[in-house]
Amino acid sequence: MAGSRLPYALLLAFLLLLNFAVFYVPYAASQGDANAQLMYAAFAPTCHQLTSRSNCLFVSEADGSYSFGDCLPSSELSYTKANVVEVGEETGYKLPVCSRDVAIYLAMLLGALALPFVRKVESEEWPNKWLLVAACVPIAIDGGTQLVGMRESSNAIRMATGFIVGFALPFYIVPMLNSLWGIVEEKLGKGKKKAKKE
């Protein structure tokens, strides 16, 4: 059926599950869940998982309270991929993806939730492509200058630039999914018509 909300609903469900998993993994690790290492490994193909570029869920040894912050106290690059860090009297359990990816995934979810208030979720029309290009400029500058060794970014900047592009992505992904869904429906419809004729 043309104009289906199914692609949007599937993307929204995927983003909810993805974001839940990202924040559940360090909690599971803090509870001693043996499957936590498997969950870290499942995210490894999607991210470098460097500890210095990641955020941690910290558990206070004093009162068992939780807090969230950079895994390492400085923005100095470290190539370690430790999933657990000790900082003062707190134990930090690393999120399974870096701070930039966390922001991208969370912003994609927020963008997907905002989409119905701005556009029809069944639309196959893209917003202006230059808006996406503009959303990519901050992440390109931050990541590019870091990549060539001009500077080392901070997790706050990584999260800010990731959030900008992440929020924009659903406005382009949903129309693409709608177009693909239309093609699938068309092919299935032709297949059903042929079967009826035979």
Q: What is the pLDDT of residues 14-26, one digit of tens each?
A: 999 999 999 999 9
Same domain for 142 and 65 = no
- Whether 89 and 103 map to the same domain: the answer is no
Enter the pTM of the model. 0.88
* Domain stop point among 59, 94, 129: 94
Looking at the domain assignment, is residue 198 inside a domain?
no
DSSP 115: H
Angle, alpha carbons 43-46-48 (nearest 5°): 90
Share of residues in the chain with pLDDT > 70 (%) = 92
Q: What's the pLDDT score for residue 115?
A: 96
pLDDT tens digits for range 43-98 = 999 999 999 899 999 999 889 899 999 998 776 677 888 899 988 889 999 999 99
Question: Which residue carries 């930039």 as its tokens?
Answer: 100
CA 172 – CA 123 distance, rounded (Å) = 10
Q: Please check whether residues 39 and 121 belong to one and the same domain.
A: no
Residues 59, 136 within the same domain: no
Q: Which domain holds residue 139?
A: 6-11+99-192
| Residues 115 and 8 sit within 8 Å (Cβ to Cβ) | yes
| Average pLDDT over all residues of the chain | 91
CA-CA distance, 169 to 175, in Å (whole number)? 10
Same domain, 46 and 110: no
Structural domain total, the chain: 2
Q: Which two tokens stand for residue 185?
A: 């429906």
Sheet with 90-94, side-by-side order of all strands = 66-70, 55-60, 90-94, 84-87
